[in-house]
Structure 1
């Protein structure tokens, strides 16, 4: 009986120690967010090659090892015809793809996956001087974009 009591007591003490360690590690570990700054100008010349640039940082430090940076680009009113362009790392946390934009208003998401986090900032680009009547406001949301990204990545 005495042995059984000692086993139960030791088990309770070990369980209590394990709980304290788990609680303290939860409060000590904080994941820093991934920040993606799109560096593509908001105004570009129509019909010219346009570099799509995204600077990826975490905790103020350049992320040189992003798993994936993909620019999703579409012209206003043509959301279903978006194009996925894989970016290449060019240094200092900057990832680049290139596209040619005809006159119009374009939208882009920079789908960025790094260090098990995914962010997708949105950006507008005006190519040339489009007729304001040709511009359709973009009412798509991130869920639409995530669906397009899943099609692209095969997940």
Structure 2
């Protein structure tokens, strides 16, 4: 009799645990977290630029991202990049004010961690009217940036 009672208790506990997360075990993948830049693609040297990105999952704005960090570097100089923490404003928008440096092509990467996912979209920002001869394509490794985030 005690074995039956113990077995029933175990079955009740398992049933209760299964109800907490109804999607567990259904094979459904959560929707991907997406990041879209709102930042203008051009600026003047010395101009304040609002680094801005909207974070969504499906049609829902992500108001609770664990981290949105804007990495900014001039072409050919990723080793000198700046890591700038984004602040949540509203509607899934995260921002940081940054002052553009000298003329050139800059890269901005939004390292975003939200809902147990990490995405790292990248955009280009042209400051002033740079000489095309000075522009170096970005062939840096994103793994290097991940290491820098840990420091």
TM-score band, normalised by shorter chain:
0.7 to 0.9
What is the CA–CA distance in structure 1 between the aligned matches of 2:47 and 2:82, rounded to whole Å?
A: 17
The aligned runs of 1:1-155 (5 Å cut-off) are 25-101=24-100, 102-151=102-151
Bigger CA radius of gyration: 1
What is the CA–CA distance in structure 2 between the aligned matches of 1:149 and 1:108, rounded to whole Å?
A: 14
What is the TM-score normalised by the length of structure 1?
0.79
1:30 deviates by 2.3
What is the TM-score normalised by the length of structure 2?
0.81
Q: Secondary structure at the match of 1:133?
A: helix
Identify the range of structure 1 (133-142 vs 78-87) with the bigger mean alpha-carbon deviation: 133-142
Larger helix percent: 1
What is the CA–CA distance in structure 2 between the aligned matches of 1:118 and 1:142, rounded to whole Å?
A: 12
User: Where in structure 1 are there 5+ consecutive unaligned residues?
Assistant: 1-6
Question: Matched residue pairs, number?
Answer: 135
User: Where in structure 2 are there 5+ consecutive unaligned residues?
Assistant: none
Q: 1:91 to 1:25 in 2, by over 3 A?
A: closer
What is the CA–CA distance in structure 1 between the aligned matches of 2:119 and 2:24, rounded to whole Å?
A: 26
1:27 deviates by 2.8
RMSD: 2.2
Q: Secondary structure at the match of 2:136?
A: coil
Contact 1:47 1:103 in 2 (8 A): no
